């Protein structure tokens, strides 16, 4: 949303206060490559195409609302991350952003590893044939059954999140007669937000074991003495949708400091560190994300430098991008229903989905872009709020955006950058049927997660 000191265009000049919501200088038909997936473009008729297929055809075949995922873009992003980090580091895709069997297969084909954080994600990964040693298992409250399943399957690592869990995993592994590789997740005292990081008051959260007060050092002490587990490293994750590398640098420095303390106390050099995920993507043209190679360089430089000054061998680094891989690769396609101009305020554009397919706007006040995609238009911009069809006034998909003022019911509009945390956080609120995910690649589109049906809903209702 662009805000400038200039009054808005003729249609809005009298209704929007100065300094507010100026119509964008750019042509509304332009698709900013920062927020749209790589194969998205407009064809000669002005309609959006992805992977060479026009949206009207996609809507006809798969219905709306639906998520369309640009498979070549997903694969290219996987490769960009693994090339950037190179053979001496590991990239774990964070499955919580979006996971399906097809995604697991793509990850395998592109040589990535997978981070799962629940029994359900683990089951999906194993079912799709991900080799267990390439899976990391996370979570602040894994059940004993989940731990057993992970240890039995032979996951490459379990990330321990509490003192109880160190003991639990050790017991399960001993019972199963194996030695489970583990990392300890520490809270480094950095709370990262989108554009800033605050180095205070962040230990007050449920994840990890604080470095402060020597708690993490005590966790290492215990993990090193217990049977059934092999401590291979330290894990840290500082937040999500982060643009500023400074938080990662502080985190890397503190994790390396702990490695040095462990070496001094136990004579052990832990061979791995994991710096988590959290790299931001562009939801609007105002966001400026870093490229994987810049991130890789910044992280490996800081770890190498810190290790050199502590006299440590440089550990193997791993990272866990979720949003940065899948987020930009998909858009949600909606059909416009009712259009309600509110004099002096804005125009409410209702679509056939809403907070059940994208909860992020309601939950985090997240910003999104939107475009008319079934055709182009030269009509003047109108300020809109794109809302869903749920019985809730907070059911907002795009809070403030401009669409052409000739928008009409039946038009298709699309919200880009919905690949991460939209389908994976979708709900059945108001008994909405969760939309399908359709993978599009080189002129072919195929459903990878089908649309829910009323039978699916009723099957669970056994009363």
Rounded-to-integer distance, Cα 377 and Cα 278, Å: 37
Q: Which of 48, 53, 55, 94 binds ligand LLP (CB under 6 A)?
A: 94
Interface map 162-201 toward ligand LLP (x if CB under 6 A): ----------------------------------------
- Cα–Cα dist 175/177, whole Å: 5
Q: Is 321 in the site for ligand LLP (CB under 6 A)?
A: yes
Among 71, 110, 115, 357, interactor with ligand LLP by CB under 6 A: 115
Let me know: does 433 contact 393? Beta carbons within 8 Å. no
Residues 215-274 that bind ligand LLP (CB under 6 A): 237, 240-241
Question: Is 422 known to be catalytic?
Answer: no
Please provide residue 3's backbone torsions phi and psi, each rounded to the nearest 5 degrees.
-125, 125
Q: Can you tell me the distance from the alpha carbon of 203 to that of 189, in angstroms, rounded to the nearest whole number?
A: 6
The tokens for 67 are: 């998520």
Strands 330-342 and 412-416: antiparallel
| 3-state secondary structure (DSSP) of residue 334 | strand
In this structure, the number of other CB atoms found within 10 A of the CB of residue 399 comes to: 17
SS3 145: helix
| Residue 208 contacts ligand LLP per CB under 6 A | no
77 counts as binding ligand LLP under rule CB under 6 A: no
Is 289 a binding residue for ligand LLP by CB under 6 A? The answer is no
Which residue from 75, 157, 254, 360 is in contact with ligand LLP, where contact means CB under 6 A? 360
Beta bridge partners of 440: 70, 445
Nearest to 92 by CA among 104, 101, 100: 104
- Asked if 324 interacts with ligand LLP (CB under 6 A), we say yes
The binder of ligand LLP chosen from 75, 138, 149, 389 (CB under 6 A): 138
Judged by CB under 6 A, does residue 157 bind ligand LLP?
A: no
Catalytic residue among 78, 117, 307, 391: 391
Nearer CB in complex with ligand LLP: 48/160 = 160
Q: Is the peptide bond before 92 cis (omega within 30 degrees of 0)?
A: no
Nearest to ligand LLP of 276, 354 (CB atom): 276
Residue 61 Cβ vs ligand LLP, minimum distance, rounded to whole Å? 29
Residues involved in catalysis: 391
* Residues in contact with ligand LLP by the rule CB under 6 A: 94, 96-97, 115, 138, 237, 240-241, 276-279, 320-324, 360, 364, 420-421
């Amino acid at each position: 949303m662009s805000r400038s000191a200039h009054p808005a265009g003729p249609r809005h000049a009298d209704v929007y206060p100065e300094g507010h919501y100026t119509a964008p200088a750019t042509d509304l038909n332009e698709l900013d490559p920062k927020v749209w997936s790589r194969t998205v473009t407009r064809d000669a008729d002005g309609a959006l195409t992805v992977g060479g297929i026009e949206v009207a055809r996609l809507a006809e075949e798969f219905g709306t609302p639906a998520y369309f995922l640009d498979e070549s873009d997903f694969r290219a992003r996987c490769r960009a991350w693994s090339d950037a980090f190179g053979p001496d580091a590991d990239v774990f895709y964070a499955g919580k952003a979006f996971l399906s069997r097809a995604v697991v297969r793509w990850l395998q084909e592109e040589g990535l590893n997978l981070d799962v954080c629940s029994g359900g994600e683990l089951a999906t990964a194993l079912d799709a044939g991900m080799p267990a040693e390439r899976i990391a298992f996370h979570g602040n409250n894994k059940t004993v059954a989940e731990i057993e399943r992970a240890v039995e399957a032979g996951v490459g690592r379990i990330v321990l999140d509490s003192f109880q869990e160190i003991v639990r995993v050790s017991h399960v592994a001993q019972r199963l007669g194996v030695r489970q590789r583990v990392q300890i997740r520490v809270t480094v005292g950095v709370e990262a937000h989108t554009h800033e990081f605050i180095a205070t008051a962040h230990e007050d959260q449920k994840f990890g074991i604080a470095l402060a007060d020597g708690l993490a050092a005590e966790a290492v002490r215990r993990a090193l003495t217990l049977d059934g587990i092999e401590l291979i490293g330290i894990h840290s994750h500082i937040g999500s949708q982060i643009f500023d590398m400074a938080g990662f640098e502080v985190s890397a420095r503190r994790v390396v400091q702990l490695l040095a303390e462990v070496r001094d106390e136990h004579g052990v050099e832990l061979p791995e560190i994991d710096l988590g995920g959290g790299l931001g993507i562009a939801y609007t043209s105002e966001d400026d994300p870093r490229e994987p190679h810049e991130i890789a360089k910044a992280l490996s430089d800081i770890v190498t430098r810190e290790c050199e000054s502590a006299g440590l061998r440089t550990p193997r680094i791993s990272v866990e991008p979720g949003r940065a891989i899948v987020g930009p690769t998909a858009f949600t396609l909606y059909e416009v229903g009712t259009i309600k101009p509110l004099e002096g305020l804005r125009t409410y554009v209702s679509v056939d989905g809403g907070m059940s397919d994208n909860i992020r706007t309601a939950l985090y006040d997240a910003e999104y872009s939107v475009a008319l995609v079934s055709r182009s238009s030269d009509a003047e911009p109108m300020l809109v709020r794109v809302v869903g069809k749920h019985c809730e006034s907070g059911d907002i998909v795009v809070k403030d955006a401009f669409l052409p003022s000739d928008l009409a019911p039946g038009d298709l509009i699309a919200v880009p950058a919905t690949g991460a945390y939209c389908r994976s956080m979708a709900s059945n609120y108001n008994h909405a049927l969760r939309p399908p995910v359709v993978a599009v690649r080189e002129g072919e589109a195929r459903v990878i997660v089908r649309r829910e049906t009323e039978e699916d809903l009723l099957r669970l209702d056994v009363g």
